[in-house]
């Protein structure tokens, strides 16, 4: 038996589906370089036409928000309900608004 598998860099995979939505994260693959990462992502994540475009990004390059900061980052948006159109009452009989 050969020695343990050497760990290749991890790449995050994003796919844009046919319906024109943004690229969406679908998972990750290991690959020696970007070219192989695209090839592996194609084999693993698009066997049923899930995507028409692939992005691969070195996992190490992704900077994520800290889960502990969830409160201060996202709660301020929750109490600003006036940012949503449903906050406003439009009198009956007014059309096209």
Partner 1 sequence: MYSQALDERDGQPDEAVNAAFEQRVAAEEKIEANDWMPAAYRKTLIRQISQHAHSEIIGMQPEGNWITRAPSLRRKAILLAKVQDEAGHGLYLYAAAETLGVSREEVVDQLLAGTAKYSSIFNYPTLTWADMGAIGWLVDGAAIMNQIPLCRCSYGPYARAMVRICKEESFHQRQGFEIMVTLSRGTDAQKAMAQDALNRWWWPSLMMFGPHDAESTHSDTSMRWKIKRFSNDELRQKFVDVTVPQADFLGLTVPDPDLKYDATTGHYVFGEPDWSEFKAVLRGDGPCNAQRLAHRRAAHDNGAWVRDAAEAHAAKQHDQVEAVA
Applying CB under 8 A, the residues found at the interface with partner 1 are: 1-2, 4-8, 10, 26-30, 32-33, 36, 43-44, 47-48, 59-60, 62-64, 66-67
Nearer to partner 1, 63 or 77 (CB): 63
Nearer to partner 1, 66 or 89 (CB): 66
Q: How far is the CB of 34 from partner 1 (least distance, A)?
A: 10
Q: How far is the CB of 41 from partner 1 (least distance, A)?
A: 10
Q: How far is the CB of 75 from partner 1 (least distance, A)?
A: 15
Give 54-58's long-range contacts (Cβ < 8 A, gap of 24+). 54/13, 54/14, 54/15, 55/13, 55/14, 55/15, 55/16, 55/23, 56/11, 56/12, 56/13, 56/14, 56/29, 56/31, 57/11, 57/12, 57/14, 58/9, 58/10, 58/11, 58/12
């Amino acid at each position: 038996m050969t020695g343990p598998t050497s760990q290749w860099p991890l790449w995050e995979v994003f796919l844009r589906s046919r319906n024109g939505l943004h690229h969406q994260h679908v998972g990750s693959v290991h690959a020696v370089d970007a070219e192989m990462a695209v090839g592996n992502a194609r084999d693993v994540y698009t066997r049923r036409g899930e995507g028409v475009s692939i992005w691969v990004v070195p996992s190490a390059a992704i900077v994520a928000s800290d889960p502990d900061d969830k409160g201060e980052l996202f709660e301020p948006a929750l109490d600003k309900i006036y940012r949503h159109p449903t906050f406003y009452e439009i009198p009956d009989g007014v059309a096209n608004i």
